[in-house]
């Protein structure tokens, strides 16, 4: 569409006002981001404002001015550093936010190039580095200038600071170094070093950086280059500006040249031939963006038309090339308000502060809470209740409060978090177990209802006794009811529960008018006509509790909430000792002879049994018929002793857990990766790469029938 075909509709005063207010907010955000390295908007919020402005100007082109943020690159420079004019203008990138928008861009570029009688056959795909754009000028191979991007024409001269970055060579090497070359790239702060930097800033009483990109900007734009030198900044180059006497025909060729001169380039770029391969690259990056081998944060993928003649056909707009596009991933970092910091009581009494936030969507889910681990961590992050905080949820990782947006504190009421001195549930005085422990605990493990709830809920979990209907709410209703005495003061009586015990357990519920009412949890309401009776879920819970009595010994052991004794140690102990009595009778030294059981676990286990109310749990469970012994051969008669097995693919007669159990209960070790130490790899249907690896390494492979033979009779059975 050409200018002349656009029908210019006159904007109304309201639309002008809307445009101006969007521009003002964007310019202010740019000033904070580029000028002060202290943004108050998250990237996602900024992108949304830009998208709104682009849409408004597309609907009403009469609003667009040459100095609109949609027509400019970045921001005019401030005067803290001397201005420097870039030999060639530095452009920005246009963004797309979905794969279909990306494919539309690809199709448009293909059409434009086809109109000129050519065809795009090379697409250069690379990572979009979340750092700070930087321009380097080399004359006769010597670094003579380093500058920020600024408004694209004039940046800030930060040459002394750039010289302090180890990855940037002072001199280019090789025979084909041109007389003048301008190199563009991204300076970044390595992800792995970011947390450590913030911790040391807070310790020194300084404000932390909200993210690694700001840390890069703040570290690079330092008045004192020594500060820059003390930070582990690095750079990746992704383009050339002016280049005299450089012979390249494709963008990727420029990368090869730069790498040859000793400049840092990315190992992750890839030239592909088709749109489907571009989509594959995007998927790959989405799955690998948090791999530790990728040292920098990345917020998307950049796709470039590789051939420089095709680039020339496509040309540029005032702010960005038409031959490149940034595909931005959904945000993993957003800003939200920290409404409160509360504390939770864990099943072993550990007190954990957690953030309560205004719910926000981040990386595909809505988040309102995040653990803050302990009081030291709250201090280390420098967050205050009432702050606007940066919330991060990287991939499938648990949401994390990164830190406060310190610049937004002004005018907000914020207060420091104070760790309580008493348990919020039972009132017991909190204390660390050992003097230098970071965690503090509620010592009242026998009577604290919160701890009983947590233990009971953990006991019902899949990895323990697998009582599906005993979830957190049911556990809380049993151990910490709103009124009356709890049905269970701890887990000792769990297996003696009868339906009638549950009749009077009440919980608070909100009705549709928002009023709080008391209702039975395990029973139906009942009125004059209808009898109150156990709900189907309550009956299911009782049935499941009954079935759980016959779970393998390791699960019973795991269900006891003994500190440090997780499923791995529980399996090993059950396999070695064969019964709860034998484990209880074993000395610390004997316990430590079990594979995977160290002194800490052994000590904790031994101390646990010495506590009378703990011993009572085991006794009451045993009296109720809970399995307290493994029905496999004890130590010495274990056919798989000393063998390590890896199972890959689906077996018809075993679930994944079942196969592991079958191996460990016979004294073998179940591992998830194939190595020289692997004795056999059991291959089911649709095996993964482990089968191929086993073959490659010469590890014996068993099918399911051979696996069964091994379980029944040990390696000798295989030989026959
Ligand atoms: S090429 C003329 N490639 O993202 C094309 N830029 O949001 C200019 N960026 O201004 C840029 N990774 O500072 C290019 N692989 C990459 C990049 C990249 C990050 C930055 C660059 C650009 C900004 C736009």
- Whether residue 147 has pLDDT greater than 80: yes
Please confirm, yes or no, whether 342 is among the known catalytic residues: no
Confidence of residue 634 (pLDDT cuts 50, 70, 90): low
**Residue 155 in contact with ligand 1 by CB distance below 6 A:** no
**Residue 133 in contact with ligand 1 by CB distance below 6 A:** yes
pLDDT at 559: 96
Pocket test for ligand 1, best of 96, 128, 136 (most atoms within 8 A of CB): 128
| Dihedral of alpha carbons 74, 77, 80, 86, sign | positive
Pocket test for ligand 1, best of 51, 88, 125, 302 (most atoms within 8 A of CB): 302
Q: What is the pLDDT of residues 164-207, one digit of tens each?
A: 999 999 999 998 899 999 999 999 999 999 988 988 888 888 88
Average pLDDT of the segment spanning 332-342: 95
Measured distance CA(645)–CA(647) in Å, rounded: 7
Measured distance CA(482)–CA(123) in Å, rounded: 64
**Residue 74 in contact with ligand 1 by CB distance below 6 A:** no
Most confident region among 275-284, 564-573, 653-662, 676-685 by mean pLDDT: 275-284
Q: Which residue has the higher pLDDT, 583 or 28?
A: 583
Confidence of residue 637 (pLDDT cuts 50, 70, 90): low
H or E element in which residue 285 lies? helix 275-288
What's the chain's average pLDDT?
A: 91
Q: What is the pLDDT of residues 448-464, one digit of tens each?
A: 999 999 999 999 998 89
Residue whose C-alpha is closest to residue 311's, from 235, 237, 268, 254: 254
pLDDT at 120: 98
Confidence of residue 398 (pLDDT cuts 50, 70, 90): confident
pLDDT at 636: 52
Concatenating the DSSP letter of every residue in 605-654 gives: HHHHHHSHHHHHHHHHHHHTT---B-SS--TT--TTTT-EEEEESB-SS-
Which range, of 256-260, 358-362, 662-666, averages the lowest pLDDT? 662-666
Q: What is the pLDDT of residues 311-324, one digit of tens each?
A: 999 999 989 999 99
pTM of the model as a whole: 0.67
- Whether residue 78 has pLDDT greater than 80: no
Ligand 1 atom closest to residue 320's alpha carbon, by position in its atom list: 2
DSSP symbol at 35:
I
Measured distance CA(383)–CA(406) in Å, rounded: 9
| Torsion angle, alpha carbons of 327, 221, 405, 74, to 10 | -40
Which range, of 37-41, 278-282, 433-437, averages the lowest pLDDT? 37-41
Q: What is the pLDDT of residues 107-117, one digit of tens each?
A: 999 999 999 99
pLDDT at 3: 39
pLDDT at 529: 78
3-state secondary structure of 463: coil
Residue whose C-alpha is closest to residue 334's, from 37, 33, 30, 41: 41
Which range, of 12-26, 350-364, 537-551, averages the lowest pLDDT? 12-26
- Whether residue 446 has pLDDT greater than 50: yes
Q: Which residue has the higher pLDDT, 73 or 469?
A: 469
> How many A from CA of 207 to the centre of ligand 1?
28
Which range, of 118-127, 204-213, 535-544, 550-559, averages the lowest pLDDT? 204-213
Distance of CA 312 to the CA centre of its chain: 40
> How many A from CA of 60 to the centre of ligand 1?
29
**Residue 106 in contact with ligand 1 by CB distance below 6 A:** no
pLDDT at 2: 39
**Residue 304 in contact with ligand 1 by CB distance below 6 A:** no
Q: Whose CA is nearest to atom 7 of ligand 1?
A: 93
Ligand 1 atom closest to residue 92's alpha carbon, by position in its atom list: 10
Q: What is the pLDDT of residues 410-441, one digit of tens each?
A: 889 999 999 999 999 999 999 998 888 889 99
Which range, of 79-93, 445-459, 541-555, averages the lowest pLDDT? 79-93
**Residue 213 in contact with ligand 1 by CB distance below 6 A:** no
Pocket test for ligand 1, best of 93, 134, 311 (most atoms within 8 A of CB): 93
- Whether residue 52 has pLDDT greater than 80: yes
Which range, of 1-5, 46-50, 320-324, averages the lowest pLDDT? 1-5
- Whether residue 352 has pLDDT greater than 90: yes
> How many A from CA of 93 to the centre of ligand 1?
6
């Amino acid at each position: 569409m050409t200018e002349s075909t656009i029908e210019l509709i006159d904007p109304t005063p309201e639309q002008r006002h809307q445009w101006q207010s969007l521009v003002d907010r964007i310019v202010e955000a740019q000033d904070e981001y580029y000028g002060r390295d202290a943004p108050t908007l998250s990237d996602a919020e900024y992108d949304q404002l830009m998208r709104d402005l682009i849409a408004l100007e597309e609907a009403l082109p009469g609003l667009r001015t040459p100095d609109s943020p949609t027509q400019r690159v970045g921001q005019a420079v401030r005067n803290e550093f001397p201005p420097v004019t870039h030999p060639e203008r530095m452009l920005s990138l246009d963004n797309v936010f979905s794969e279909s928008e990306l494919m539309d861009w690809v199709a448009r570029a293909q059409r434009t190039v086809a109109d000129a009688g050519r065809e795009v056959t090379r697409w250069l795909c690379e990572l979009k580095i979340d750092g700070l754009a930087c321009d380097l000028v080399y004359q006769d191979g010597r670094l003579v200038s380093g500058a920020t991007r600024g408004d694209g024409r004039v940046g800030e001269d930060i040459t002394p600071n750039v010289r302090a970055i180890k990855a940037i060579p002072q001199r280019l090497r090789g025979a084909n170094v041109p007389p003048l070359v301008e190199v563009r790239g991204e300076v970044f702060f390595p992800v792995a070093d970011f947390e450590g930097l913030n911790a040391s800033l807070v310790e020194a009483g300084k404000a932390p950086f909200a993210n690694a990109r700001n840390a890069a900007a703040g570290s690079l734009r330092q008045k004192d280059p020594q500060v820059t030198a003390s930070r582990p900044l690095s750079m990746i180059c992704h383009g050339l500006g002016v280049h005299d006497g450089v012979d390249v025909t494709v963008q990727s060729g420029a990368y090869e040249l730069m790498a040859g001169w000793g400049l840092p380039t990315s190992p992750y770029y890839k030239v592909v031939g088709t749109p489907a391969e571009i989509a594959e690259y995007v998927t790959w990056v989405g799955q690998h963006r948090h791999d530790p081998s990728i040292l920098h944060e990345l917020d998307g993928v950049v796709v470039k038309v590789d051939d420089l003649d095709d680039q020339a056909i496509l040309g540029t707009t005032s702010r960005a090339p038409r031959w490149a596009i940034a595909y931005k991933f959904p945000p993993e970092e957003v800003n939200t308000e920290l409404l409160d910091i509360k504390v939770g009581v864990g099943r072993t009494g550990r007190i954990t502060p957690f953030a309560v936030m205004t719910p926000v969507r981040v990386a595909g889910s809505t988040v309102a809470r995040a653990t803050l681990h302990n009081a030291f961590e709250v201090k280390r992050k420098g967050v205050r209740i009432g702050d606007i905080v940066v919330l991060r949820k990287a991939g499938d990782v648990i949401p994390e409060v990164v830190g406060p947006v310190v610049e937004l504190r002004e005018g907000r009421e914020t207060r420091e978090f104070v760790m309580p001195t008493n348990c919020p549930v039972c009132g017991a005085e909190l204390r660390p177990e050992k003097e230098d422990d970071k965690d503090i605990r509620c010592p009242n493990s026998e009577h604290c209802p919160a701890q009983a709830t947590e233990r009971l809920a953990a006991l019902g979990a899949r990895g323990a006794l697998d009582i599906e209907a005993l979830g957190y709410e049911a556990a809380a209703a049993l151990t910490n009811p709103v009124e009356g005495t709890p049905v269970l003061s701890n887990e000792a009586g769990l297996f003696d529960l009868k339906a009638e015990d549950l009749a009077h357990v009440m919980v608070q519920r909100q009705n549709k008018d928002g009023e709080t009412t008391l209702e039975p949890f395990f029973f139906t309401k009942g009125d004059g006509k209808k009898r109150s009776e156990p709900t189907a879920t309550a009956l299911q819970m009782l049935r499941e509790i009954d079935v759980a009595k016959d779970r393998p010994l390791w699960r019973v052991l795991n269900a006891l909430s003994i500190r440090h004794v997780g499923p791995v140690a529980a399996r090993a102990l059950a396999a070695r000792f064969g019964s709860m009595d034998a484990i209880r009778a074993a000395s610390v030294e004997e316990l430590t002879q079990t594979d995977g059981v160290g002194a800490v676990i052994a000590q904790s286990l031994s101390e646990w049994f010495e506590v009378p109310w703990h011993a009572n749990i085991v006794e009451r469970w045993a009296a109720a018929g809970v399995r307290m012994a493994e029905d496999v051969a004890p130590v010495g008669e274990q056919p798989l002793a000393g063998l390590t097995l890896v199972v890959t693919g689906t077996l018809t007669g075993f679930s994944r857990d079942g196969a592991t159990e079958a191996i460990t209960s016979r004294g073998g070790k179940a591992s998830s990766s194939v190595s020289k130490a692997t004795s056999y790899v059991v291959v089911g249907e649709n095996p993964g790469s482990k089968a191929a690896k086993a073959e490659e390494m010469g590890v014996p492979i068993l099918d399911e029938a051979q696996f069964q033979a091994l379980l029944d009779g040990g390696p000798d059975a295989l030989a026959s």
